[in-house]
């Protein structure tokens, strides 16, 4: 144990005496530091002796009492005011409060600079400083060993907790979600108290926030500069102290680990997205695909595809977060306003994608597939089911449960419909590098307006007229006929649901 308040006052060289709170003379002084901010308890912690010229010390009785209560609550060792400087005289109410709190209030002689107290405390606590340094070195060594290949030890926070003899949690300050795994979950009441305290503190967060629940005090520290996480430290036993210096290093370690895991998750998501794109396009061989699926946790068959349509980027992120939070191995890719995911068969449940009846989210889930070659078909089934969920006003639909209004019942029927109606156009576009299918879609979406359609396509009106004549010639349908318009529109809609991919026979003869 280092020097106490009583031992410090007993040294003639520091010229310091008690003004109040002598009953707290046995408090240990771990460090001494000046601070003239109006709320020094947000910057100093357990065992620190506050040195003040009095600029921040209130002059009124109520203000002085509150000032001392906050310092005592933050577990500082005491307050030393400079004699003959700017501190207002200690009121009777403040003296009584200091005595009741057993919180030492000292006065340092005008002729003694505060640096004398700082050096005295530092020299007296050299052994404690050495022990603290050894503890900090061990903590960084725990971090290093946890990153070694084939590490099979306990979660990092649990190892650090045992070494520091405190319980640690790293939380998202907005949701309260644990960002690093631990064996012992945080108590719900403490989690709520932390979130409330963080919200009330505003931005930026102070060096630490003291949280008290059921008489038990804990400290919350910001992790990193972005304040996207907080480190919560709970004493393992009543009356145990929390070393703020050690906690600052623990917050740094937590920041490094959160950033490492975030980067790993991002790389994993990007790798999974690239693999899913290759599976959908059929540009990866079976053996390579299965090996990469196994590396991403999807070795077990069968799988299901899910197609989720949302209205905002934030909703896309919510889909990704839900899969990650549920610890479900998955591949995910975003295309336009849709999210396509591949996940294990047993994990593809209605509850997983039912966003509490949010009408902005529609989801479709495919049938189970057992081969990588069937992933493309599964994606089309999922998109088909998603369209059914929108037309039925439901959040989640499994393929085969419902049929989109006025649409073919299955992907196979849809592909046949597209081939029969749009097949000649798709073939012509493929062989001539033209855009008849796209031009037809834009023309119909523009309510058959020649001017509007041409402007949207960026072409001359007569060019659009020519293209629509070719559409009529190749399909045998007339754009003035309501029935033919309907057939073409539904075929285009079906093609969109199929992802623009249908088997079409290539013609050897080109229309004139």
Lowest mean pLDDT among 10-19, 89-98, 486-495: 486-495
* 464 or 336, which is more confident: 464
Residue 276 has pLDDT above 50, yes or no: yes
Q: Report yes or no on 213 lying in a domain.
A: yes
Distance (Å, rounded) from C-alpha 210 to C-alpha 489? Answer: 64
* 142 or 400, which is more confident: 142
How confident is residue 474, by pLDDT bands cut at 50, 70 and 90?
Answer: very high
Q: Are 52 and 58 in contact (CB under 8 A)?
A: no
- Residue 17 has a pLDDT of 95
- Mean pLDDT for the chain? 85
Distance (Å, rounded) from C-alpha 213 to C-alpha 211? Answer: 7
The CATH number linked to 109 is: 3.40.1390.20
Contacts of 105 (CB under 8 A, 6+ apart): 18, 19, 20, 21, 68, 78, 79, 81, 90, 94, 95, 98
- Alpha helices by DSSP H, listed for 168-282, are 188-201, 244-281
- Residue 437 has a pLDDT of 92
How confident is residue 1, by pLDDT bands cut at 50, 70 and 90?
Answer: low
Token couple for 57: 């010390």
Q: Across residues 94-120, what is the average pLDDT?
A: 94
Q: Report yes or no on 503 lying in a domain.
A: no
* 42 or 59, which is more confident: 59
Q: Report yes or no on 511 lying in a domain.
A: no
Same domain, residue pair 249 and 140: yes
439 alpha-carbon distance from chain centroid: 42
Residue 504 has pLDDT above 50, yes or no: no
289 alpha-carbon distance from chain centroid: 29
Lowest mean pLDDT among 51-55, 455-459, 486-490: 486-490
Same domain, residue pair 180 and 65: no
User: Where is the domain boundary, 398, 422, 442?
Assistant: 398
Q: Across residues 139-144, what is the average pLDDT?
A: 88
Q: Across residues 207-213, what is the average pLDDT?
A: 83
How confident is residue 507, by pLDDT bands cut at 50, 70 and 90?
Answer: very low
- Residue 55 has a pLDDT of 94
- Residue 399 has a pLDDT of 83
Q: Are 3 and 16 in contact (CB under 8 A)?
A: no
Q: In what order do the strands lie in the sheet with 303-309?
A: 331-335, 338-344, 303-309, 362-365, 396-398
Q: Are 72 and 101 in contact (CB under 8 A)?
A: yes
Q: Report yes or no on 509 lying in a domain.
A: no
Lowest mean pLDDT among 59-63, 126-130, 291-295: 126-130
Residue 202 has pLDDT above 50, yes or no: yes
- Residue 351 has a pLDDT of 79
Q: In what order do the strands lie in the sheet with 230-235?
A: 166-171, 230-235, 216-222, 209-213
Q: Across residues 410-421, what is the average pLDDT?
A: 78
- Residue 148 has a pLDDT of 77
Q: Beta-carbon neighbour count of residue 16 at 10 Å?
A: 26
Q: Report yes or no on 486 lying in a domain.
A: yes
Among residues 433, 427, 443, the alpha carbon closest in space to that of 488 is found at: 443
Residue 508 has pLDDT above 50, yes or no: no
Lowest mean pLDDT among 114-123, 162-171, 384-393, 432-441: 384-393
What percent of the chain lies above the pLDDT cut of 70?
89
The CATH number linked to 366 is: 3.30.70.270
Distance (Å, rounded) from C-alpha 278 to C-alpha 271? Answer: 11
* 357 or 486, which is more confident: 486
Same domain, residue pair 307 and 203: no
CA dist list (Å): 82 to 52, 57, 250, 357: 6, 11, 34, 64
- Residue 40 has a pLDDT of 93
Residue 383 has pLDDT above 60, yes or no: yes
How confident is residue 152, by pLDDT bands cut at 50, 70 and 90?
Answer: low
How confident is residue 380, by pLDDT bands cut at 50, 70 and 90?
Answer: confident
User: Where is the domain boundary, 76, 100, 124?
Assistant: 124
How confident is residue 243, by pLDDT bands cut at 50, 70 and 90?
Answer: confident
- Residue 505 has a pLDDT of 42
Token couple for 77: 């060792």
Q: In terms of residues, how long is the chain?
A: 512
Q: Are 45 and 29 in contact (CB under 8 A)?
A: no
Same domain, residue pair 97 and 120: yes
Q: Phi and psi dihedrals of 235, rounded to 5? A: -65, 145
Q: Across residues 158-175, what is the average pLDDT?
A: 89
- Segment 250-260, tens digit of pLDDT: 999 999 998 88
How many domains in the chain? 4
The CATH number linked to 227 is: 3.30.450
Residue 511 has pLDDT above 70, yes or no: no
User: Where is the domain boundary, 103, 124, 145?
Assistant: 124
Q: Are 14 and 108 in contact (CB under 8 A)?
A: yes
Same domain, residue pair 151 and 93: no
Among residues 40, 57, 47, the alpha carbon closest in space to that of 2 is found at: 47
What kind and span of H or E run contains 78?
A: strand 78-82
How confident is residue 503, by pLDDT bands cut at 50, 70 and 90?
Answer: very low
Distance (Å, rounded) from C-alpha 231 to C-alpha 254? Answer: 7
Q: Across residues 272-288, what is the average pLDDT?
A: 91
Token couple for 7: 């031992």
Q: Phi and psi dihedrals of 476, rounded to 5? A: 75, 20
Q: Beta-carbon neighbour count of residue 211 at 10 Å?
A: 22
Same domain, residue pair 139 and 213: yes
Distance (Å, rounded) from C-alpha 127 to C-alpha 124? Answer: 8
Q: Report yes or no on 481 lying in a domain.
A: yes
- Alpha helices by DSSP H, listed for 77-125, are 92-101, 114-124
**End-to-end Cα, the chain, rounded Å:** 98
The neighbouring-strand residues paired with 211 are: 218
Say what the pTM is. 0.58
Same domain, residue pair 91 and 183: no
- Residue 35 has a pLDDT of 93
Q: Report yes or no on 502 lying in a domain.
A: no
Same domain, residue pair 113 and 142: no
Same domain, residue pair 214 and 106: no
Same domain, residue pair 146 and 251: yes
Among residues 363, 369, 378, the alpha carbon closest in space to that of 280 is found at: 378
Residue 188 has pLDDT above 80, yes or no: yes
- Residue 136 has a pLDDT of 85
The CATH number linked to 422 is: 1.10.10.2840
Distance (Å, rounded) from C-alpha 350 to C-alpha 402? Answer: 14
Same domain, residue pair 30 and 118: yes
Q: Report yes or no on 116 lying in a domain.
A: yes
- Residue 211 has a pLDDT of 86
- Residue 341 has a pLDDT of 92
Same domain, residue pair 315 and 391: yes
Q: Across residues 104-115, what is the average pLDDT?
A: 94
What percent of the chain lies above the pLDDT cut of 90?
37
357: left (phi over 0), alpha (psi -120 to 50) or beta: left
- Segment 296-333, tens digit of pLDDT: 999 999 999 999 887 655 456 677 777 877 788 999 98
How confident is residue 389, by pLDDT bands cut at 50, 70 and 90?
Answer: confident
Among residues 314, 318, 279, the alpha carbon closest in space to that of 296 is found at: 279
Distance (Å, rounded) from C-alpha 435 to C-alpha 509? Answer: 18
288 is in which domain, residue-wise?
284-398
């Amino acid at each position: 144990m280092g020097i106490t308040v009583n031992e410090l006052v007993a040294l003639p060289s520091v010229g310091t005496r008690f003004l109040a709170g002598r009953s707290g003379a046995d408090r240990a002084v771990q460090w001494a530091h000046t601070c003239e901010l109006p709320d020094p308890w947000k910057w100093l912690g357990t065992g620190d002796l506050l040195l003040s010229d009095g600029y921040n010390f209130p002059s009124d009785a109520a203000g002085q009492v509150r000032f001392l209560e906050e310092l005592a609550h933050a577990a500082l060792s005491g307050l030393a005011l400079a004699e003959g400087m700017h501190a207002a005289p200690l009121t009777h109410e403040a003296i009584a409060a200091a005595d009741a709190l057993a919180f030492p209030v000292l006065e340092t002689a005008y002729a003694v600079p505060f640096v004398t107290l700082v050096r005295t405390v530092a020299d007296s606590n050299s052994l404690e400083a050495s022990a603290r340094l050894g503890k900090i070195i061990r903590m960084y060594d725990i971090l290093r060993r946890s990153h070694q290949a084939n590490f099979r030890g306990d979660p990092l926070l649990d190892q650090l907790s045992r070494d520091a003899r405190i319980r640690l949690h790293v939380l998202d300050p907005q949701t309260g979600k644990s960002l690093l795994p631990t064996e012992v979950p945080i108590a719900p009441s403490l989690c709520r108290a932390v979130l409330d305290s963080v919200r009330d503190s505003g931005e930026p967060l102070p060096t630490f926030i003291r949280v008290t629940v059921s008489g038990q005090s804990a400290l919350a520290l910001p992790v990193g500069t972005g304040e996207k996480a907080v480190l919560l430290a709970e004493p393992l036993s009543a009356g145990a102290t929390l070393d703020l210096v050690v906690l600052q290093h623990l917050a740094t370690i937590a920041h490094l680990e959160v950033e490492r895991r975030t980067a790993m998750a991002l790389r994993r998501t990007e790798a999974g997205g690239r693999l899913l794109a290759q599976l959908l396009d059929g540009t990866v061989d079976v053996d390579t695909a299965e090996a990469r699926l196994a590396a991403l946790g999807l070795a077990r068959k069968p799988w299901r595809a899910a197609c989720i349509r949302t209205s905002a980027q934030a909703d896309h992120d919510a889909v990704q977060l839900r899969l990650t939070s549920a610890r479900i191995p998955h591949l995910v890719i975003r295309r336009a306003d849709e999210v396509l995911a591949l996940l294990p068969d047993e994990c593809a449940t209605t509850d997983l994608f039912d966003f509490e009846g949010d009408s902005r989210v529609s989801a479709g889930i495919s049938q189970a597939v057992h081969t990588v070659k069937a992933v493309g078909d599964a994606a089309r089934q999922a998109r088909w089911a998603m369209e059914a969920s929108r037309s039925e006003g439901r959040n989640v639909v499994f393929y085969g449960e419902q049929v989109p209004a006025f649409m073919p019942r299955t992907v196979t029927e849809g592909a046949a419909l597209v081939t029969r109606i749009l097949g000649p156009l798709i073939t012509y576009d493929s062989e001539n590098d033209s855009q008849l299918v796209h031009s037809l879609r834009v023309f119909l979406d523009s309510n058959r307006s020649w001017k509007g359609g041409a402007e949207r396509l960026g072409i001359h009106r007569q060019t659009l007229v020519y293209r629509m004549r070719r559409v009529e010639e190749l399909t045998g349908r007339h754009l003035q006929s309501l029935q033919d318009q309907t057939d073409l529109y539904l075929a285009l809609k079906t093609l969109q649901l199929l992802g623009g991919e249908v088997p079409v026979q290539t013609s050897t003869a080109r229309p004139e």
